[in-house]
């Protein structure tokens, strides 16, 4: 089996005019300033992409705009990167935009990189070495470890092979966390091409995308099919996360698409205006960030106005981290765990960044201990921890697999595997956490125990009464009851459930024995229920006990909607007498009529009809038209 080729998305960052584009051209031969305006002005306006191949694998280089006015475009390319190539002019050194680029990389979780000293042919070797150490220290303060510092010159080619080797070394580093997400590709370009139709491009952030897949276009778009895929101009059958990808779509018009939307698996991104997030303020900020601040939210290729709500404080000091909510001006669709950046409009600066914890939230109470604890757990844990938290929140109600997958930012099959590892119970279309299921079992046992205490004459509770008492769905209650019966903690008798240690026979009273004697002596002409019980609560309890024990049987005339209570001995006697009276009634043709049965038993229709319907229901007789055959042996 062929080894999987390693790939990595590396953002090329740095101040304007520090030679990022020339560096990428020297490394790959690709001109990333493709727009006429970019070439005329000599600055990058939108992210440019180039492929760097090595024996270790392939690196997608994203040439990110350096000018302050184009930082928003830089962010759209940066949120997918896993490492950085920091280009710094060996003469000019660190500039404000360099610091902001490093800050953005840190805020979205990038921790690795390589530093290129550009135009190093214009300074001495000693100066280049000093500058290299200085730049590495600046990157380290930003939380990024420089795994190589290389002096280069795009003009002479000096240091370019060494820089390519240093970048290849990033591929040999610790492996990325295994991708367990569903496909998510933020759209940065939309166009139409003859022979391909409607095409979108972007960086595949997570998940695998293949020709033939169905994708939802969010927010606000239709579902489309993937007609074709290209990576750096070559057609492929599938794309892996982290790759710059062009997607030809079928079933969608150009007018339905725009930059800022995303392709994702259908049903796994919700459109919402409330996001729960973990937020870190920029360490270089000059002032604290107040709750209630109006900001611009940038994730993927989306930019939207939001209002910040800090949940445990009034201001966020530079470099501090806190749980927060973002209330968007319009609906957004973003996966859980996706990185984002917050910027101000005036002054135009990056003020914070973080990750999405709940991609489909609602307004939360501030300083609520439960909310804060839940968000802290989501911020610290992996998707499995998030699933455990969601199951705990749902309790006995459980959650569906699509809900859990969406909230955890996982593909459904990935969510199912993690749920199995957590010991979650799949019941119908819902999953219950193991602790919630154990608590449900205890609640069921307690409910049965209370019923036995309050109604010692009754044999148990019907499932529908348990469902109402605990406000459960029928499938979940039935699963818990089956589990308890299998474990021997609960006994089932017919439709009734009781605790296994509960023996209703111990609670027989004189009232029970007297009432049973009444029905035994009455035979096939028993008294009406109201007549037998009257207004005596003890006799009513006694009757419930006898019915639960199967001593007295309720037979129903469905036409007249009337019930008659027979002692079981009377029904046994009736079966024997009918078998003797109609020995040849083995088929409907030789069977007997209801009036003939009544005559044989010496009872009126009031008693014979419900008795015969009970015998039909229990399989002793079978009715065909007006006649009945005896189909069961005594």
- CA-to-CA distance for 299 and 313, rounded, in angstroms? 24
Instruction: Look up the pTM and report it.
Output: 0.73
Q: Write down the pLDDT at residue 35.
A: 39
Instruction: Read off the pLDDT of residues 74-130 as tens digits, 9 standing for 90 and up.
Output: 555 555 678 899 999 999 888 887 888 888 888 888 889 999 999 999 999 999 999
Q: Write down the pLDDT at residue 347.
A: 82
Instruction: Read off the pLDDT of residues 343-363 as tens digits, 9 standing for 90 and up.
Output: 988 888 889 999 999 999 999
For 10, the 3-state DSSP assignment is strand
Instruction: Read off the pLDDT of residues 187-246 as tens digits, 9 standing for 90 and up.
Output: 988 999 887 889 999 888 888 999 999 999 999 889 999 999 998 888 999 998 888 899
Mean per-residue pLDDT, 479-486:
94
E strand or H helix at 544: helix 537-549
For 348, the 3-state DSSP assignment is coil
- CA-to-CA distance for 267 and 252, rounded, in angstroms? 17
| Token duo for residue 181 | 């997400």
Q: Write down the pLDDT at residue 4.
A: 59
Confidence of residue 404 (pLDDT cuts 50, 70, 90): very high
- CA-to-CA distance for 627 and 590, rounded, in angstroms? 8
For 356, the 3-state DSSP assignment is strand
- Please provide residue 619's backbone torsions phi and psi, each rounded to the nearest 5 degrees: 85, 10
Look-up: residue for tokens 């790939």?
A: 7
- CA-to-CA distance for 359 and 273, rounded, in angstroms? 9
| Token duo for residue 439 | 């608590």
- CA-to-CA distance for 340 and 195, rounded, in angstroms? 36
Q: Write down the pLDDT at residue 158.
A: 92
Q: What is the DSSP string of 278-331?
A: EEEE-TT-SSPEETT-EEEEEETTEEEEEEEEESS-SEE-TT-EEEEEEEEEEE
Confidence of residue 544 (pLDDT cuts 50, 70, 90): confident
Q: Which long-range contacts (CB under 8 A, 24 or more apart) does 236-239 make?
A: 237/210, 237/211, 238/208, 238/209, 238/210, 238/211, 239/204, 239/208, 239/209, 239/210
User: Strand 627-630 to strand 621-624: parallel, antiparallel, or no bridges (unpaired)?
Assistant: antiparallel
Helix axes 594-601, 568-581, angle to 10 degrees: 110
Q: Write down the pLDDT at residue 397.
A: 92
Mean per-residue pLDDT, 258-280:
93
Q: Which residues make Cβ contacts (< 8 Å) with residue 491, sequence separation at least 6?
A: 460, 485, 497, 498, 499, 500, 502
- CA-to-CA distance for 174 and 163, rounded, in angstroms? 19
| Token duo for residue 354 | 């973080």
Confidence of residue 175 (pLDDT cuts 50, 70, 90): low
| Token duo for residue 566 | 């027979």
Asked whether residue 37 carries a pLDDT value surpassing 70, the answer given is no
Q: Which long-range contacts (CB under 8 A, 24 or more apart) does 388-392 make?
A: 388/422, 388/433, 391/419, 391/422, 391/424, 391/431, 391/432, 391/433, 391/435, 391/436, 392/433, 392/435, 392/436
- The domains located in the chain, with CATH, are 7-171 (3.40.50.300), 184-264 (2.40.30.10), 272-374 (2.40.30.10), 381-432 (1.10.10), 436-506 (1.10.10.10), 510-630 (1.10.10.10)
- CA-to-CA distance for 425 and 124, rounded, in angstroms? 68
Q: Write down the pLDDT at residue 180.
A: 66
Q: In the chain, what is the greatest distance between 2 CA atoms, to the nearest angstrom?
A: 124
- CA-to-CA distance for 201 and 224, rounded, in angstroms? 15
Instruction: Read off the pLDDT of residues 505-540 as tens digits, 9 standing for 90 and up.
Output: 665 677 788 888 899 999 999 999 888 888 877 788
Q: Which of 194, 262, 174 is nearest to 224 (CA)?
A: 262
| Cβ pair 147, 173 in contact under 8 A | yes
């Amino acid at each position: 089996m062929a080894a999987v080729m390693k790939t990595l998305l590396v953002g090329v960052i740095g101040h304007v005019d520090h030679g990022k584009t020339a560096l990428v051209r020297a490394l790959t031969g690709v001109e990333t300033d493709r727009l006429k305006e970019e070439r005329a002005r000599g600055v990058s306006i939108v992210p440019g992409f180039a492929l760097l191949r090595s024996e270790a694998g392939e690196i997608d280089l994203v040439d990110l705009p350096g000018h302050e006015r184009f930082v928003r475009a830089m962010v759209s390319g940066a949120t997918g990167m896993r490492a950085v190539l920091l280009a710094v002019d060996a003469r000019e050194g660190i500039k404000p935009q360099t610091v902001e680029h490093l800050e953005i990389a840190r805020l979205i979780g990038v921790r690795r990189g390589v530093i290129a000293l550009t135009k190093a042919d214009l300074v001495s070797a000693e100066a280049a070495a000093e500058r290299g150490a200085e730049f590495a220290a600046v990157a380290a303060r930003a939380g990024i470890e420089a795994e190589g510092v290389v002096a280069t010159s795009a003009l002479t080619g000096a240091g370019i092979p060494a820089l390519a080797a240093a970048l290849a070394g990033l591929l040999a580093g610790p492996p990325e966390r295994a991708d367990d997400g569903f496909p998510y590709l933020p759209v940065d370009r939309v166009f139409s091409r003859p022979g391909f139709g409607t095409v979108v491009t972007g960086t595949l952030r997570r998940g695998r995308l293949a020709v033939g897949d169905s994708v939802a276009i969010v927010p606000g778009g239709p579902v489309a099919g993937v007609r074709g895929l290209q990576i750096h101009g070559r057609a492929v059958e599938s794309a892996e996360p982290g790759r710059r990808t062009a997607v030809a779509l079928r079933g969608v018009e150009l007018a339905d698409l725009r930059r800022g939307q995303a392709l994702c698996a259908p049903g796994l991104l919700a459109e919402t205006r409330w996001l729960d997030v973990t937020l870190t303020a920029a360490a270089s900020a000059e002032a604290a960030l107040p709750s209630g601040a109006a900001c611009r939210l940038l994730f993927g290729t989306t930019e939207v106005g939001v209002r910040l709500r800090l949940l445990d404080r009034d201001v966020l000091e530079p470099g501090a981290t806190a749980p927060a909510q973002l209330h968007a001006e319009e609906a957004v669709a973003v996966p859980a765990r996706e990185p984002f950046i917050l910027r101000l409009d005036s002054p135009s600066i990056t003020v914070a960044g973080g990750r999405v914890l709940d991609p489909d939230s609602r307004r939360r109470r501030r300083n609520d201990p439960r909310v804060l604890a839940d968000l802290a757990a989501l911020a610290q844990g992996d998707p499995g921890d998030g699933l455990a938290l969601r199951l705990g929140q749902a309790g006995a109600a459980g959650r569906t697999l699509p809900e859990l997958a969406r909230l955890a930012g996982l593909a459904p099959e990935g969510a199912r595997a993690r749920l199995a590892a957590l010991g979650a119970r799949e019941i119908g279309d819902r999953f219950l956490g193991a602790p919630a299921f154990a608590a449900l079992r205890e609640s069921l046992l307690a409910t049965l125990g209370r019923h036995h205490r309050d109604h010692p004459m009754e044999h148990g509770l019907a499932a529908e009464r348990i469902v109402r008492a605990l406000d459960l769905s029928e499938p979940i209650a039935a699963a818990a009851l089956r589990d308890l019966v299998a474990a021997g903690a609960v006994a089932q008798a017919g439709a009734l459930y009781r605790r296994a240690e509960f023996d209703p026979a111990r609670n027989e009273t004189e009232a029970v024995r007297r009432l049973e004697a009444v029905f035994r002596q009455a035979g096939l002409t028993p008294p009406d229920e109201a007549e037998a019980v009257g207004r005596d609560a003890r006799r009513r309890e006694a009757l419930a006990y006898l019915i639960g024990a199967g001593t007295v049987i309720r037979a129903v005339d469905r036409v007249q909607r009337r019930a008659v209570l027979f002692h079981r001995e009377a029904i046994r006697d009736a079966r024997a007498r009918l078998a003797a009276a109609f020995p040849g009634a083995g088929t409907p043709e030789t069977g007997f009529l209801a009036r003939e049965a009544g005559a044989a038993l010496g009872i009126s229709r009031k008693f014979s009809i419900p008795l015969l319907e009970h015998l039909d229901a229990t399989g002793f007789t079978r009715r065909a038209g007006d006649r009945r055959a005896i189909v069961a042996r005594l």
